Homo-oligomer: A and B are copies of this chain.
Amino acid sequence: MPSYTPPVKDMQFILHNVLNITGQETPGYSDLEADFTSAILEEAGKLTSEVLAPLNVVGDTEGCKLENGVVRTPSGFKAAFDQVREGGWPGLDMPEQYGGQDMPYVIGTAVGEMFSSANMAFTMYQGLTHGAASAILAHGTDAQKDMYLPKMVSCVWTGTMNLTEPHCGTDLGLMRTRAEPQEDGSYKLTGQKIFISAGEHDMADNIIHLVLAKISGAPEGIKGVSLFIVPKFIVKEDGALGERNPVAVGKIEEKMGIHGNSTCVMNYDGATGYLLGEEHKGMRAMFTMMNEARLGVGMQGLSQAEVAYQNALDYARDRLQGRDVTGAKNPEGPADPLIVHPDIRRSLMDQKSFAEAGRAFILWGSTLIDAAHRGQDKDADGLVSLLTPVIKGFLTDQGYDMTIKAQQVYGGHGYIEEWGMSQFTRDARIAMIYEGANGVQALDLVGRKLAQDGGKHVMAFFDLVKGFIKENAGQDADFDREFLDPLKAASKDLQAAGMYFMQNGMKNPNNALSGSYDFMHMFGHVCLGLMWAMMGKAARDALADGAADKEFYETKLATGRYYMARQLPGTALHLARIQSGADTVMALDAANF
């Protein structure tokens, strides 16, 4: 059975040495001393590694079962969920007013990575609840907040998000679910929603569904969509649970992975709903949550890469097979461990250098969300809005690839379910699809975010990279050559791609859209290159300060050098593809494929 070791030390390095969070101006940050964050991370680490991780394979094997309209979660989930509630984890970054602990989002993200690495399917029950609660927090009336949030922040009730229908996923303008206004101001919702994560289960007293639907007579398309609160049990004024709303699970989907989470077809049959936010502005209400939700999915990609890497590393150290070509490393044993072989190391270094920089990228993005929300920093808001599709698309694509590499280290055993490596890949696979498929992320990035506010945010990003290089160049020739020069080259490639879009996208938007996916990936590489440069600098500083754990910082530098030498040059290939334009992509008639 696979195991999970929370990367507390690595998180502390990023939070304190690299991002220097205690020194940030964002409200609520000044308390985040290393001792304090360490205590939180250690505690979360214990819960996730001891309670949640052992249930991961159980969830995969047993799955969720629909019996007479009731969904049974896998053995042990309910008890574990109680423990999570008791620890107050679901409300970590929620307002105290509603029972939360009011911690910054960045701390929620760090803890969330642990939860997700340990048991992604399990963690989704609270993740969806967090998303639904955030939407109510941002758009609900005071009465709605008072009625739903205390129970949702504590996960006594859970939440869901209902967007997709059988014939519409990305294109929500095609939506058919209807909402009929009632005399008392409520609505009756009728329609079918699919792919509803945590749609029904046996771990909470009530489930608060957030449902997109069209009010009768609403404008056509996406502009006629509204958002509704549809509780499984109607909540009475005194907070007690009333009658059962006619919303029922139609079936549980048989999926490739995340079997521990119940993915439901939900049928609304005249169910009572309450408008959340304004009429016809449902998409806007949804989209205010989008940056967080998408960052959370990017984090899922990273989380599976991390735990898969940990297990691949253990296996590579233990499994004896073949000999080091440069001389036996385990001469007393029948063979050397796998980790002596250069190609196994290549794979492990790919995984390690991705996971560590990916973590830094997400934590950095989380500090931007905090700055935007808590500090009202418009620039931070614009920057994280630009980076969100990169975090989601790049980290889930790469995260998935890393789980495949980790599985490959196991050879044939990787293909056998009992070793658990297959589950990491199957679970990670969904993160490339939901919350906007990665092709849609690329479209969002190139078609919308690049030009947002006159291109101000992408310019700010380039300035940030340039500023970092300028500030740190010329002090250490090795650091310049190993870290700053590759970052500069990659950033130049990215700028050249942006330039290509500007010059050729006007003539024909397909010239930009044909390169959108490559652009998202090259942007991701530049971001991870920037993270490695920042981590490299922090490690050098720590070593110069005579830090105790020399090996930790030297390993950081070595891992960064690997990424810079082996991964970052990938930007040139993406640029070449982008500059080849749309002609070869669009050449064929649909009939001739």
Contact = CB atoms under 8 A, between A and B. Distances in A.
- Main SS of chain A's interface residues? helix
Contacts of A438: 408
Given A256-B417, A415-B430, A573-B570, A562 B587 contact: yes
A171 B322 contact: yes
A254 B288 CA distance: 43
Interface string A150-177: 0000000000000010011111011000
A348 interface: yes
B426 A411 contact: no
B555 A584 contact: no
Contacts of A32: none
Interface stretch (A295-303, A369-377, A384-392, A512-520): A512-520
A337 interface: yes
A551 B593 CA distance: 10
A344 B510 CA distance: 12
Contact of A585 (B345, B418, B514, B554): B345
A137 interface: no
Nearest to A588: B558
A510 B422 contact: no
Contact of A433 (B337, B415, B566): B415
B256 A345 contact: no
Contacts of A408: 432-433, 437-439
Given A344-B439, A443-B343, A572-B572, A555 B513 contact: no
Contacts of A513: 325, 341-343
Interface in A106-139: none
Given A325-B510, A585-B562, A343 B412 contact: no
A74 to B, nearest CB: 16
Nearest to A421: B256
A30 interface: no
A555 B590 CA distance: 11
Interface stretch (A45-53, A180-188, A464-472, A574-582): A574-582
A509 B326 contact: yes
A253 interface: yes
B321 A170 contact: yes
A398 to B, nearest CB: 13
A587 B551 CA distance: 12
Nearest to A517: B343
A313 B591 CA distance: 10
> Interface centre among A352, A442, A572, A576, by most B CB within 10 Å?
A576
Contact of A339 (B340, B509, B570, B590): B590
Nearest to A446: B343
B411 A169 contact: yes
A29 interface: no
Contact of A508 (B317, B326, B411): B326
B587 A558 contact: yes
Contacts of A164: 412
B580 A566 contact: yes
A592 interface: yes
A70 interface: no
Contacts of A411: 169-170, 433, 437
Given A169-B412, A346-B517, A587 B561 contact: yes
A418 B253 CA distance: 9
A525 to B, nearest CB: 11
A270 interface: no
A576 B490 CA distance: 14
A565 interface: yes
Interface string A236-272: 0000000000000000011111000000000000000
A566 B572 CA distance: 12
A576 B585 contact: no
A346 B256 contact: no
A277 interface: no
A569 B580 CA distance: 11
A147 to B, nearest CB: 31
Interface string A479-514: 000000000000000000000000000001110011
Smallest CB-CB A-B distances: 10 pairs: A342-B513, A256-B422, A565-B580, A562-B584, A558-B587, A171-B321, A254-B417, A343-B439, A342-B514, A569-B576
21 contacts: A168-B321, A171-B321, A171-B322, A173-B335, A174-B334, A256-B422, A326-B508, A339-B593, A343-B442, A343-B443, A343-B514, A343-B517, A346-B517, A346-B585, A412-B433, A415-B433, A415-B434, A551-B592, A554-B592, A555-B593, A558-B587
